[in-house]
Amino acid sequence: MTDQQALPPVFTVVPGAAVSRALAGQRSAVIALVEETYRLHGSGRTVNPPSHFLRFPDRPTARIIALPASIGGEHAVDGIKWISSFPDNLRLDVPRASAVLLLNDPRTGYPYACLESSLISATRTAASAAAAARRLSAQRGTTPRRIGYFGAGLIARHVHDHLTELGWGIEEYGVHDLDPGYATSFAEKVLAPTGRPVRIHDKAEDLVRSSDLIVFATTAATPHVTDTAWFGHHPLVLHLSLRDLGTEVVLDSVNVVDDVEHVLKADTSVHLAEQATGHRDFLHATLDDALTGAFTAPSDRTVVFSPFGLGVLDLAVGRHVHARAAAAGDLLTIDGFFHEVSRHGGGGEAA
Give the mean model confidence (pLDDT) for residues 57-76.
Answer: 93
Q: Tell me, what CATH number does 318's domain have? A: 3.30.1780.10
pTM here is 0.92
Half-sphere exposure at residue 199, Cβ-oriented, CA atoms within 13 angstroms = 17
Closest to 300 measured CA to CA, from 233, 210, 229: 233
Query: For residue range 218-270, what is the model confidence (pLDDT) as tens digits?
Result: 989 999 999 999 999 999 999 999 999 999 999 999 999 999 999 999 899 99
Residue 351 pLDDT > 50, yes or no? no
Q: Tell me, what CATH number does 219's domain have? A: 3.40.50.720
**Is 172 found in the same domain as 155?**
yes
Q: How confident is the model at residue 350 (pLDDT cuts 50, 70, 90)?
A: very low
pLDDT of residue 3: 41
Query: For residue range 180-206, what is the model confidence (pLDDT) as tens digits?
Result: 999 999 999 999 999 999 999 999 999
**Is 254 found in the same domain as 329?**
no
CA distance 123 to 201: 26
**Is 38 found in the same domain as 152?**
no
Which string of b and e fits 288-326 if b means at least 16 CB within 10 Å? bbbbeeebebeeeebbbbbbbbbbbbbbbbbbbbbebbe
pLDDT of residue 126: 98
Residue 1 pLDDT > 90, yes or no? no
Per the prediction, the chain carries an average pLDDT of: 94
pLDDT of residue 342: 67
**Is 258 found in the same domain as 148?**
yes
Residue 111 belongs to a domain = yes
Residue 348 pLDDT > 50, yes or no? no
β-bridge partners, 147? 173, 213
Closest to 260 measured CA to CA, from 246, 271, 244: 271
**Is 259 found in the same domain as 194?**
yes
pLDDT of residue 43: 94
Q: How confident is the model at residue 345 (pLDDT cuts 50, 70, 90)?
A: low
Query: For residue range 263-312, what is the model confidence (pLDDT) as tens digits?
Result: 999 899 999 999 999 999 999 999 999 999 999 999 999 999 999 999 99
Signed CA dihedral, 306, 265, 155, 217: sign only: positive
Residue 127 belongs to a domain = no
pLDDT of residue 69: 98
Give the mean model confidence (pLDDT) for residues 33-40.
Answer: 96
Instruction: Count up the domains in the chain and report the number.
Output: 2
Print the domain residue range for 90.
11-120+312-334
Residue 73 belongs to a domain = yes
**Is 299 found in the same domain as 179?**
yes
pLDDT of residue 117: 97
Residue 186 belongs to a domain = yes
**Is 159 found in the same domain as 96?**
no
Compute how many other C-beta atoms are within 10 angstroms of the C-beta atom of residue 150.
Answer: 28
Helices 118-140 and 154-163, packing angle to 10 deg: 50
Q: How confident is the model at residue 8 (pLDDT cuts 50, 70, 90)?
A: confident
Residue 343 belongs to a domain = no
Residue 58 belongs to a domain = yes
pLDDT of residue 5: 55
Give the mean model confidence (pLDDT) for residues 32-43.
Answer: 96
